[in-house]
Amino acid sequence: AQTVTQSQPEMSVQEAETVTLSCTYDTSESDYYLFWYKQPPSRQMILVIRQEAYKQQNATENRFSVNFQKAAKSFSLKISDSQLGDAAMYFCAYVSTYAGGTSYGKLTFGQGTILTVHP
Amino acid sequence: DAGVTQSPTHLIKTRGQQVTLRCSPKSGHDTVSWYQQALGQGPQFIFQYYEEEERQRGNFPDRFSGHQFPNYSSELNVNALLLGDSALYLCASRVSGTGSADTQYFGPGTRLTVL
């Protein structure tokens, strides 16, 4: 079974600074995607960034970038120029893209990291 | 482009009752998944529906059942409610098939409180 671990229950950052959230995962599959989702107090789970496992290049979306280390099964999120609106719970998630497997389409989430942004 | 919608927003039930939650997928999406999120935890996969059939199921008892309609909308039913069923229930939709279609988009959730 796949597992996702976020070892930082809480992180804080000053506005305009950079913060990195950590995530490790365990899987025996080779075809998968990894995601970072953001969940503010409004509860809406918002997709932040996606990484396809077969791509060596790290994904980037504006101020958000990832450091994907496939061999180490590590997938960290870097938020640059942090803004007050970035404050939320961040979840790392894994999904198998192997259509013949029993885990296909099933998102497995980590425990989450609460990010606080100080003005 | 309408996103994923869920109803109701909040719901209060008592132990032993039954509840039905509803979800309409994002426009163009045909696959719906349901997740349970306890307070302060990550979401847990309940099941996934495609072509009106349950395709994948997580580790949840048979009290949890679902349905998908021809218009791709879905319902989650929970029978014989327990206090431990109190949680945020999230619906997510995606396009069937592999590739970028594997990205799931979430609705705002239904907060269920069981007294």
Please report, for chain B, the start and end positions of each structural domain, with discontinuous segments joined by +: 5-114
**Mean pLDDT of all residues in B85-97:** 92
- Tell me the chain B residues in contact with residue A103 when contact means C-beta distances shorter than 8 Å: 56
Residues of chain B positioned with their CB less than 8 A from the CB of A107: 33, 35, 43, 45, 92, 104
Probe site for chain A from B37, B53, B104, B111 (most A CB atoms < 10 A): B104
Q: A104: which chain B residues are within 8 Å (Cβ-Cβ)? A: 56
Cβ contacts below 8 Å, chain A against chain B, sum to 65
Q: Taking the CA of residue A25 as centre, how many other CA atoms within 13 Å lie in the half-sphere pointing to its CB?
A: 31
Q: How far is A112 from chain B (nearest CA, A)?
A: 6
pLDDT in tens, B10-63: 999 999 999 999 999 999 999 999 999 999 999 999 999 999 999 889 999 999
Among A41, A46, A37, A47, which Cα is nearest to A110's?
A37
Distance CA A3, CA B13 (A): 33
**Contacting residues of A for B111, CB less than 8 Å apart:** 43
Residue B101, pLDDT > 60, answer no
Summarised one tens digit per residue, pLDDT across range A17-30 is: 999 999 999 998 88
Structural domain that includes position A107: 3-118
pLDDT tens for A62-108 read 999 999 999 999 999 999 999 999 999 999 999 988 777 777 788 99
CATH value at residue A74:
2.60.40.10
Domain tally, chain A = 1
Share of chain B above pLDDT 90, in %: 86
The CATH number that domain B5-114 falls under is 2.60.40.10
Is a pLDDT exceeding 80 seen at residue B97? no
Question: How distant is the Cα of B36 from the closest Cα of chain A, in angstroms?
Answer: 11
Q: What angle do CA A37, A39, B10 make, to 5 degrees?
A: 130
d(C-alpha B13, C-alpha B112), whole Å: 8
